[in-house]
Amino acid sequence: MKKKLIISAFCLLQLLLSCEKKRDSRFEIVDSTPGYTETLAPLEQDPYRESIKKGWKEVNAYYTYHFTGKINNTYAFDMNLRIIDDRISGYYYYLKYEKPIQIEGEITGNVVFFTEELGNTFEGIFDHNKGEISGYWTNKSTGETFNLNMANPKGKGYPKRSYRVLATEKSPGSDTYYISQIEETDSKNQKRIIPIESQFWETEIVDKFDLYIEDYNFDGYLDLCSFQSLPSKYVYFTYDAANRNYVENAQYSHFDTPPFATNFRKKLLYFRTDFNNKYYSIYQYYQGWLRKIYVAASHVDESDDWAEYYHYVNEEALAITPAAFEAQYGKQVLQVFEAAEEK
């Protein structure tokens, strides 16, 4: 009798283990609707996860173009034109008034159309190879239309280029990957490989790699910028025209963000200097070097006042009044901060 009980218990255990194995071998979600059963593959076999862990990865390209131009061959202005996919944003200001005016619009092929905050419109053809936009400016109030011409202030082209990055798996089963190189392709399908010395990596849930493209050293050529996770900072690759390649530029390596605005005429870069966007700073590209010239606290709400103004002489912070700062660096320099707060 005792032997039969042992055999029965053993059989029951085998039956339970068999059922458990069956449950482990299938991942079922059963809906209350009759006849509905969905079987899911184990997570590690998901082809989407495998495809984005390694190999070539698409890029979110954030372009900012510098232009100087005239309306009706008379009214001179400078412009920062940002293009993300087919969307246009940015600002411009007339040299006479130096007050930033926000713009928004779109680009279809090479045709640009954007509206300023006052309602006046710009429309033209973007010739990337020449770095020029030619078209018309229309006054919203009167309906008058004037010719419009604007170009890269250094007389260079802004040739069309596309980018992707090479992702390599960090470790088996890891949800992060390293970015080992950037590939640049021009309009003639000629490719350039830009090696990355710094450690770039992101999680696999990010479907595209962010790349910021702007002339950061004001020589007329577009440079590259992207985020490095360890240590947390942005890394800049400035274009070396003499050798026709990109060089990782350590001067910019301590910035937490890309510049939110630039002034190519005075070679200024504007940064939000902390993750809460509470402080702003200005750096000037001067004789091949970046020097800090200004720091200010931003408006957190309407009750807050601006902090004292400073500029830096030989890295020493010296207090300066807003009026004195405008006299030395120009009125538009401070108003860029104010325009950023209004957005």
* pLDDT, tens digit (0-9, with 9 covering 90-100), for 25-70: 333 333 333 333 333 344 444 444 444 456 888 899 999 999 999 9
3-state class (DSSP) for residue 342: helix
Give residue 31's identity as a one-letter amino acid code.
Answer: D
Q: What pLDDT score was predicted for residue 332?
A: 67
Q: Are 184 and 244 in contact (CB under 8 A)?
A: no
Neighbouring C-beta atoms of residue 46, cutoff 10 Å: 11
Residue closest to 336 by CA, chosen among 262, 258, 275, 283:
262
Domain boundaries, the chain: 61-151, 260-343
Q: What pLDDT score was predicted for residue 108?
A: 96
Q: Which residues contact 86 (CB under 8 A, 6 or more apart)?
A: 106, 107, 108
Q: What pLDDT score was predicted for residue 25?
A: 35
Q: What pLDDT score was predicted for residue 133?
A: 98
Measured at the alpha carbon of residue 190, what is the angle toward residues 128 and 68, in degrees to the nearest 5? 20
Quickly tell me which residue has 């979110």 as its tokens: 60
Q: Which residues contact 267 (CB under 8 A, 6 or more apart)?
A: 218, 284, 285, 286
Residue closest to 276 by CA, chosen among 305, 298, 304, 247:
298
Residue closest to 337 by CA, chosen among 297, 303, 287:
297
Q: Which H or E element spans position 327?
A: helix 322-329
Q: What pLDDT score was predicted for residue 129?
A: 95
Give residue 51's identity as a one-letter amino acid code.
Answer: S
- Rounded Cα gap, residues 236 and 251, in angstroms: 9
In CATH terms, is domain 61-151 a member of 2.30.180.10? no
* Encoded tokens for 68: 């100087």
* Encoded tokens for 270: 């504007």
Taking the chain (343 residues) in runs of 10, the rounded mean pLDDT of each run is 46 48 36 36 44 73 96 96 95 88 95 94 97 96 96 96 83 69 92 80 69 96 85 85 90 84 90 67 86 66 51 78 77 65 56
Q: What pLDDT score was predicted for residue 141?
A: 92
* Encoded tokens for 98: 């130096």
- Distance from the Cα of residue 175 to its chain's centroid: 23
152 forms beta bridges with none
3-state class (DSSP) for residue 295: strand
Tallying the residues shown for the chain, one arrives at: 343
Give residue 146's identity as a one-letter amino acid code.
Answer: F
Q: What pLDDT score was predicted for residue 198?
A: 64
- Rounded Cα gap, residues 15 and 75, in angstroms: 88
Residue 176 Cα distances to 107, 111, 210, angstroms = 34, 39, 16
Q: What pLDDT score was predicted for residue 3?
A: 43
DSSP state of 325: H
